[in-house]
Structure 1
């Protein structure tokens, strides 16, 4: 019972489990509507809500199901290698196909082929709201299935915080840790496949819409597409690293992750590109160079720190990490206190936020909407960092206290 009470506090407990599934879908639809309104004002009253006829198109469910089906097929292809996840409570390790980058390349190749054949990819701009509505419905249906499925598995298969007995909360947070249909891992599939790659394809469709309207893509649109495609490609190239993240190792697969993976990522992370279709921005070569440099610095910090952590987790004796200073813990594992992880406790978050800012800057400073992502992401990472802190404190005890004394700053050096 003590564990259940503690878990209830995550994301506002029962109140959050009721409010978030209602508010987030409305937020997605509102943001898409605002991005294409002339004023693009987040404070417009009444708000720029889409009309009913804008929310449905018969092509939307066909495109969505075709996209999901394509990636389910690509996931199942014998491409790439198989990798083992971390050890589970029953001392077993699940196997995962590491072929997400192959799936992205095939997907982009198919999209480019369709473009060459004359497919109107720019229509994605008009279909964005209906696609979002269909994906929201799919996320609820999948979450209901996952919750029902969780009652057919053993207690060892349940997530540490998803079996509180509160049906609303468990549905939201995720009751089962690694739901599978035979060898098809639903959480792992959704984490990096249809939503993440879909984000890059939506961006490309919005770029093509700008080409239709103005004859060529703007420098701002090219930067936004390029930065975000790099981010997606990097995540899939380093797909194996996701197997040690909190999402895979600790969190159950419920509405929170389903909606985040399938709806929130592709339809809110593409806001900058959507904004630029209706609100073109002039960007100087010098301004572009500064933004590219900022994104490069952020990417370097993000990738270097994540690679260092993943290398240390997999082989602490590897020459790249063997000379780094560490603190022993009662679990037998060691905590890094030098390198990137001796700079701040979450250097990967710092790099992530610098990139997020670089994605927004090409949209200028006349509207707040393009900065929604970096604002939201700051709040998200600070919240996630607090969750990380609690987990590490419980796991490592006094060793974590010692680490925090040696590395006092959490994300921003000398600030936070």
Structure 2
């Protein structure tokens, strides 16, 4: 009963899992070899372009670097060390199926600022060389992140088969994810077999969620800005439009680190290749695409366009942040006098669902703000190539899939109350539109 067998396989099971693993890896290759300082940045539409990409992929050994893998491993270990030694409060997550609540250290923001101080020290003492090395060895670092994330996923998958504790006979302390107990090794490796893989107090899923990848994204953006300044003598306004909101977004994520404890990634999903690769490889490599493009192709916008993109981005961020803050405040204390103007319905399960304020406008208004914020960062690159808009297109697919999962989960949980809620809040993303 504690670990029921998986009855529904997401992503169309094994074929879908293999498609996602190979497809996302292929995207890393295609986007790098089609968009770089040597080849420009255009979608591969000709046979010659694809021949170049396939030839580069076949010569993969040229992009495997023991030096880069060593540096990446040191980066992960450095942040793991800070996970243990940086001061901060400890919070408990939601109650699990076995009645336990895991503890998590809320020291991600302090770890980031301490790490950023180290970067500043290195810049002052050594100069730009370390950051230029990062910019120049971007793809070797991406390949290293892929290797590391895959090995990590393999480790946690094998680790999930460890024997139950002899101190608690009859109790399986290895809590498996609902979706990761299918018995098929390929699917379970991909989706994540164990819900919260841990060694002692070190939680792999929580650590990887916001630290190595998110902070690595900031480091890559910083390195690309330094690269542009070194080559062209200045940092373009387009670079600032791209990286300042992204860095602010990363810091905001760490400021509200405790809110991740209630997300589906932590509460529902297992930790397998999907999250390991997504956290460590996909996020820093693909989300830094705008800065990497601008490092070798500076774009200089007019004052009016710069102001428009900045205001559009700020407004989008406010929709995302204010809506999430309202929801989090209501979850924490629905009886707070500051929230007395909000209307809600009470479900049979006892949960309260907001039907006014931000959440009366649309059921996933935060997704709308999040997507528009990403679109603004893509707009910073101009309109010379559609490749820099991949972030926006991918993020839209991601949010639509997450919306589908949220809707299914809520429909199963609240049943007829969810139908009533949808009648009161009929729009998904944009009020009066959709």
Q: Shorter chain as normaliser: what TM range?
A: over 0.9
Give the 5 Å matches for 1:37-56: 37-45=38-46, 46-47=49-50, 49=53, 50=56, 51-52=59-60, 54-56=62-64
Q: Which residue of 2 aligns with 1:128?
A: 138
Q: Which residue of 2 aligns with 1:32?
A: 32
1:369 aligned onto 2:387: yes
The normalised TM-score by structure 1 is 0.96
SS in 1 for 2:353: strand
Q: Which residue of 1 aligns with 2:148?
A: 138
C-alpha contact 1:35 1:271 (8 A) present in aligned 2:
no
Report the more deviating stretch, 387-396 or 22-31. 22-31
C-alpha contact 2:128 2:226 (8 A) present in aligned 1:
no
How far the C-alpha of 1:155 sits from its partner, in A, is: 6.6
Deviation readout 1:247-289 (Å, 9 max, x if unpaired): 0011010111111000000000000011112222121121111
SS in 2 for 1:96: strand
Gaps of 5+ in 2: 165-171
Cα–Cα, structure 1 residues 322 and 85, in superposed 2: closer, same or farther, change >3 Å? farther
Structure 1 distance, partners of 2:205, 2:193, is 12
Cα–Cα, structure 1 residues 156 and 58, in superposed 2: closer, same or farther, change >3 Å? closer
Q: Tell me which stretches of 4 or more aligned residues in structure 1 moved more than 6 Å.
A: none
Q: Which residue of 1 aligns with 2:263?
A: 245
Q: Which residue of 1 aligns with 2:160?
A: 150
Structure 1 distance, partners of 2:327, 2:191, is 27
Structure 1 distance, partners of 2:142, 2:45, is 22
C-alpha contact 1:32 1:267 (8 A) present in aligned 2:
no
C-alpha contact 1:291 1:358 (8 A) present in aligned 2:
yes
1:344 aligned onto 2:362: yes
Cα–Cα, structure 1 residues 250 and 144, in superposed 2: closer, same or farther, change >3 Å? same
* Aligned pairs, number: 414
Gaps of 5+ in 1: none
1:102 aligned onto 2:103: no
Aligned match of 2:209 in 175, 180, 191? Answer: 191
Structure 2 distance, partners of 1:414, 1:376, is 25
What is the RMSD of the two structures over their aligned residues, measured on CA atoms?
Answer: 1.7
Cα–Cα, structure 1 residues 279 and 4, in superposed 2: closer, same or farther, change >3 Å? farther
1:172 aligned onto 2:190: yes
Structure 2 distance, partners of 1:320, 1:159, is 37
How far the C-alpha of 1:139 sits from its partner, in A, is: 1.2
The normalised TM-score by structure 2 is 0.92
SS in 1 for 2:338: coil
C-alpha contact 2:221 2:243 (8 A) present in aligned 1:
yes
